Amino acid sequence: MQENLGHQSIAEAFVEARKTASAFHSYPGEIPQSMDDGYAIQDIAIALDGRPVGGWKVGRVPADRTEQFAAERLSGPIFIDEIVDAPNGDVPLMPIYSDGFAAAEAEVLLRLGSVPQEECSIDTIGRYIDDVRVGIEIASSPFSGINGYGPAVTVSDFGNNKGIVLGPLIPDWPDADLLAMPVSLQIDGATVGSNNMGDMLDGPFGSVVFLLELLRKRNIDITPGIWVSAGAITGVHDVESGQTVKATFGDNLEARCKLVAI
């Protein structure tokens, strides 16, 4: 019972801090020691927040933490009002908690057109996806130390998500060699990371398979049209208010945004 009360108070603290843009530098309660605890806090926070969820981010658990937490990936909700569609070169303003934690990540974003009833694999999940975009995830939390205490803490504050930018569609994505596509991320014109999707754990389709299994385990409804932000490709890059971020995929696909403090 005390544990549940602790989960409730932590969730309340994060939801209130996000609503009021109030940064803090110490975790607001007992640090969760398992992924189950982190997701229990997240579930309460999603209910307290009340906004509809339009997608889910998937992130990588650091290699030195996978055994301790029995997990290689983590997830958090993306609220529908923080999904920004900018396929035509627009540069939307994306909010960050400037006194908390803020980072930008180049990511592939996949939309579920329908929901499989059976278990899927990397080879079969593609038939349920109807849109694949290039984009940017904004990772931001009012807790400045969120990435220093392990993945369960990251999970407890919505997976450290503060929205996504949906860039242009990847043409002919079902037949494209996505894993070989070069990706880079620039901040104010300077390249801060480059890689390709082949270095991601199981690639972007593996992230979708992971997410579906996790949501079912948590008894969360899966609905057509949800977006999956499949994970950082070039790394997690610290950002500040006023900076402009550009993610480049292949030769000519780009997503951009400008960061603004809240």
Q: What is the pLDDT along the chain (262 residues), one digit of tens a residue?
A: 345 769 999 999 999 999 999 999 999 999 999 999 999 999 999 999 999 999 999 999 999 999 999 999 999 999 999 999 999 989 999 999 989 999 999 999 999 999 999 999 999 999 999 999 999 999 999 999 999 999 999 999 999 999 999 999 999 999 989 999 999 999 999 999 999 988 888 889 999 999 999 999 999 999 999 999 999 999 999 999 999 999 999 989 999 999 999 9
Phi, psi dihedral angles at 40 (to 5 degrees): -65, -40
Pull the structure tokens for residue 142.
């009012």
Q: 90-140, pLDDT tens digit by residue?
A: 999 999 998 999 999 999 999 999 999 999 999 999 999 999 999 999 999
Burial class (CB in 10 A: 0-12, 13-18, 19+), 34: middle
Render the burial of 62-78: b for 16+ CB within 10 Å, e for the rest.
eeebeeebebbbbbbbb
Q: What is the pTM of this model?
A: 0.95
Q: Any residues with CB less than 8 A from the CB of 134 and at least 6 apart, and which? A: 106, 108, 109, 167, 168, 170, 247, 249, 253, 254, 255
Can you give the pLDDT at residue 160? 98
Distance CA 184, CA 182 (A): 7
For domain 2-261, the CATH architecture is Alpha-Beta Complex (3.90)
Spatial contact of 151 and 69, defined as CB atoms under 8 Å apart: yes
CB half-sphere exposure, 56, CA atoms < 13 A: 27
Q: Is 247 within 8 Å of 136 (Cβ atoms)?
A: yes
Domain ranges for the chain, please list them: 2-261
Contact 58, 39 (CB under 8 A): no
User: Between the CA of residue 53 and those of 81, 162, 220, 224, what are the distances in Å?
Assistant: 9, 12, 11, 12
The gap from C-alpha 87 to its chain's centroid, in whole angstroms, comes to 19
- What type of residue is 153? V
